Amino acid sequence: MRLQAWHIVVLVVAFLLLFGWKNLPNMARSMGESMRVFKSEVDQMKDEGEARKTEKDAERPALDDRKDHDADTAREEYDAMKRREGGAGTTGSTGA
C-alpha cells in the first residue's frame, strides 16, 4: 500500500482537529529539539563505545604474537586432560 496525497490530507486534517492549529508549531518545535537531543546522546554513546574498544585493544597483546603460543598451550592442555582421563591424547597411541 503506497502513501497517496489524500492520505496526507486526511492526516493533516486529523492533526488540526485533535491539537488545534495554534499548538502544531509548538509541537513541531518540541519534536525537533527532542530529536536533536536524542541524536547527540546517541553520538556520545557511540564515541564512548569506540573509546572503550580502543582501550581494550590497547590492553590486549597482539593476536599474532600469541597465536603460536596459544595453539601449543591448548594442545598441551588437551593432552594433559586426556592423560588424566586415561585417553591417549593427540601424541599417544590410537588404541587400535
pLDDT tens for each residue of 25-57 = 888 899 999 999 999 999 999 988 888 888 777
Q: Find the distance separating the first CA and the last CA of the chain, reported in whole Å.
A: 69
Structure-block grid coordinates of residue 56: 581494550
pLDDT band at residue 96, thresholds of 50, 70 and 90?
very low
How many angstroms separate the Cα of 58 from the Cα of each of 53, 55, 62, 63? Answer: 9, 5, 9, 12
Pick from 2-6, 42-46, 64-68: least confident: 64-68
Percentage of the chain beyond pLDDT 90 is 25
Q: String of b and e for 12-40 (b: at least 16 CB within 10 Å)?
A: eeeeeeeeeeeeeeeeeeeeeeeeeeeee
With H, G, I as helix, E, B as strand and everything else as coil, classify residue 17: helix
DSSP state of 92: S
